[in-house]
Amino acid sequence: MAAQSAVQGRQGGGGVREQEIAVEQRHLDRVYRRLEDKIHEVEFLMSDAAQRGHVGTPGALAERDAQVYRASVHLNRLNSEFEDFLFGRIDLLRGKDGKKGSDGAYTSVDPADDAIRADATADIAETLHIGRIGVLDTDYSPLVIDWRAPAAAPFYRSTPVAPGRVVRRRVIRSKGRRVLGVEDDLLRPELTTGLPVVGDGALMAALGQARTHTMRDIVASIQAEQDMVIRAPAASVTEVTGGPGTGKTAVALHRAAYLLYQDRRRYSGGILCVSPTPLLVAYTEGVLPSLGEEGQVAIRALGSLVDGVTAELYDEPAVARVKGSLRMQKVLRNAARGCLELAPGAPETLRVVAFGRRLELSATELAAVRRAALGGTAPVNLMRPRARRLLLDALWRRTGRRFDDTELAAEERQGFDEDITTEQDFTDFLDAWWPLLEPRTVLAALADERRLARWSRRVLTPPEVRKVARSLRREGVSTHDVALLDELAALLGPLPRPKRREADPLDQLTGLEEVTTYADRLEGGRRGRADRLEEERTEYAHVIVDEAQDLTPMQWRMVGRRGRTATWTIVGDPAQSSWSDVDEAAQARDEALGSRPRRRFTLTVNYRNPAEIADVASTVLALAMPGTEPPRAVRTTGVAPRYEVAGADLGADVRAAAARLLSEVDGTVGVVVAMGRRAQARGWIEGLGERVVALGSLEAKGLEYDATLVVSPAEIAEESPAGLRVLYVALTRATQRLAVLSTPLDTPDSAGIPDLLLP
């Protein structure tokens, strides 16, 4: 048997490879011919609709416009999916029950009992091609199966240990209309089926590729444990943990595409994907469009979740800790109410004229009215009408009028109210005494130390008050401020806004001209459309939280408000948490998610770092989170990390080390420094080209580079209480090479290895 499998084993040699490429080229040609036919059909539908113009009943016109709209979206998809959209193939044994599903493929996961003969030979009963969208032939047989369809699952799930019906899995590499290569994995090497096997497997080929500044989809090489997460039923909360490089971000994004495919109607309510930094948003933004999905998915950084605000500042760890903690709820509640008293020029008393006499409410009486109005928990801005009513009650009492006849009393009172409320003095008073407040006004008020001390009595300590107030006096907002602004928005309630016309595409379509314009927008205005979508939604059907270990309790509250009725996918790694109090953050997450049932998954394989780098990182992991199991690295490069000790000119040494890494890899180089050195480091590498970037340790979260230079591990570790975990993040960003530059703070040994990295 072993001899037989060797015969049909790897046949990378020219002839077989070329032959197999030619086989796939023929299939791809067939798919293209079919796609072109479909495009002609759609174009016909569109021009036909245009010719019929505006003739017909309003209902028929609306139906036609809807049809044209759908056709234009489909056309756009077909056109954009032309690039590299066929990527996989599986060759399968006959299914156990011999039944086929609606897509024409056998439904059974297991092979029929007689599919394998006694002499270990078998026939291939079915060959399926997998792609980014499904394409049916004219006879409805599947030419390409959508990667998210049930029939495609074996492409991802089968392993040599549990191959199911799959004999050979093939990844097809193509560009445009040309097949460039194939990579095979033989899942039943013990069988003789006559299938040739080419290449070293797709996963290794994918992992070895040079990196760019944007993440690629992994649709051609999703691994079985990842596929379990991607296709997990949309339970209330799907929770995924896994070490660095285990594909958590990739899996979360592919899951969004899968959920949309599974239940487009349900998820038309939008999917929100929350990332910790704008850098990670920019890095991951291309993945969903490459999977044919984007319009329904908004990827936003934590600092951009509130419309009209973009966080640009970082808070030092001590300030972040206060701003992120649940204690701020109480402080903000006090501030939202306290701010009512701060309006410039607010009058101390209220004077109006009614029934020919002056009526007055004193400062004490006004304070009592305010207290009564604020008694409930309703948002402060929404309590203004209640305050107005209480003022009128107090003024009415002041008139001293009494009526035995209730009808007459009601009439008199109504007249009184109308008189008063149309008096300019009264409306001016109300505007000044109960101003409509915006979150930013209240946050700005907290920058005053005395005021903050008053509103945070018995909640924050004096040093905390000083630091927080100082941080709020800076120009701009931090990521943590955004969560405070969102909390304030909830405490204050909305301001009345002029109505905006909804931008429903169907409203705007009246014929071919509009379709073309809309299709152009689909093609060219991707960002603009995504932006509009983000602006319009405040609640989502599904919320994905990436790097979930980093959300502060206040950030959990902010994200929680956007998914009150949503299902959730939460991915993270406690060992990479930059939040100093891991327990408090976990508690806040539990509060945000409430009692929703959770399904937990763990990813165990590190696809990013070669073992040489993963080993160094696990030394730090043992210090940062003793007892935590690091993920298993799947690759080795044979290149050990390089250790250097900086001389008198740190900048020159960083520049030289970065330049050296640039000469050693084809793709990107990340220079990771302590947050306090960010600006300096950008200067050091200036002019070295676009392939290299300098980042603060917290900015490196989620990103990856071909090579990474970590500057002074000790400085990174000492910068915050969670410093060791932040260092762990920095050390796990490289796919090929790692260099570490030490300063005296690192107390390197004679080989230049910093103290913290010694095994």
Ligand X SMILES: Nc1ncnc2c1ncn2[C@@H]1O[C@H](COP(=O)(O)OP(=O)(O)OP(=O)(O)O)[C@@H](O)[C@H]1O
Binding residues: 242-249
Q: Which is nearer to ligand X, 349 or 636 (CB)?
A: 636
Query: Rounded distance, CA 335 to CA 338, Å?
Result: 5
- 668 near ligand X (CB under 6 A): no
For ligand X, the closer of residues 231 and 323 by Cβ is 231
CA separation for the pair 672, 695 (Å, rounded): 5
Q: Which letter does DSSP use for residue 95 in this model?
A: B
Rule CB under 6 A: say whether 85 interacts with ligand X.
no
Contacts of 556 (CB under 8 A, 6+ apart): 585, 588, 589, 591, 592
Tell me how many residues contact ligand X (CB under 6 A). 24
The residue among 467 and 608 lying less far from ligand X, judged by its C-beta, is 608
We find the least distance from the C-beta atom of residue 216 to ligand X, in angstroms, to be 6
Using CB under 6 A as the binding rule, whether residue 275 contacts ligand X is answered as no
Q: Which of 573, 612, 653, 715 binds ligand X (CB under 6 A)?
A: 573
| 400/359 Cα distance (integer angstroms) | 11
Interface with ligand X by CB under 6 A: which range of 218-226, 416-424, 519-527, 587-595? 218-226
CB of residue 732 to ligand X, shortest distance in Å: 6
Please identify which residue in 174, 226, 277, 290 interacts with ligand X, judged by CB under 6 A.
Answer: 226
Question: Per rule CB under 6 A, is residue 185 in the interface with ligand X?
Answer: no
192 binds ligand X (CB under 6 A): no
**153 vs 172: CA distance, rounded Å:** 17
Cβ count near 313 (within 10 Å): 14
Binding of residue 577 to ligand X (CB under 6 A): no
222 binds ligand X (CB under 6 A): yes
Say if CB 716 and CB 756 are below 8 A apart: no
Smaller CB distance to ligand X: residue 245 or 292? Answer: 245
Q: What are phi and psi of 240, to 5 degrees?
A: -125, 125
Site for ligand X in 228-257 (CB under 6 A): 242, 244-250
Smaller CB separation from ligand X, 218 or 665? 218
Shortest spacing between CB 70 and ligand X, in angstroms: 33
Binding piece for ligand X, criterion CB under 6 A, among 220-228, 415-423, 616-624, 687-695: 220-228
- Chain positions 608 to 637 lying near ligand X, rule: CB under 6 A, are 608
Q: How far apart are CA 491 and CA 483, in angstroms?
A: 12
Least distance in Å: CB of 192 to ligand X? 29
Cβ atoms of 173 and 185 within 8 Å: the answer is no
Residues ≥6 apart with Cβ < 8 Å to 243:
573, 575, 603, 604, 606, 630, 631, 732
Considering the rule CB under 6 A, would residue 303 count as an interface residue with ligand X? no
Residues 590-609 that bind ligand X (CB under 6 A): 607-608
- Asked whether the beta carbons of 17 and 182 are under 8 A apart, the reply is yes
- Only one of the segments 131-139, 200-208, 402-410, 613-621 lies at the binding site for ligand X (rule: CB under 6 A); that segment is 200-208
Question: Given the complex with ligand X, which of 556 and 607 has the nearer CB atom?
Answer: 607
Tell me the C-alpha distance between 174 and 159, whole Å.
24
Q: Angle 726-730-731 (CA atoms, 0-180°, nearest 5)?
A: 115
Residues present in the chain in total: 759
The verdict on 203 binding ligand X (CB under 6 A) reads: yes
Query: Are 649 and 640 spatial neighbours (Cβ–Cβ below 8 Å)?
Result: no
Q: Which of 583, 530, 597 is nearest to 273 (CA)?
A: 530
Residues 701-740 that bind ligand X (CB under 6 A): 702, 704, 732
What Cα–Cα distance (Å) separates residue 254 from each residue in 276, 487, 563, 600? Answer: 18, 31, 20, 17
Residue 207 interacting with ligand X (CB under 6 A): yes
Bridge partners (DSSP) of residue 295 are: none
Give contact residues for ligand X (rule: CB under 6 A).
203, 206-207, 216, 218, 221-223, 226, 242, 244-250, 573, 576, 607-608, 702, 704, 732
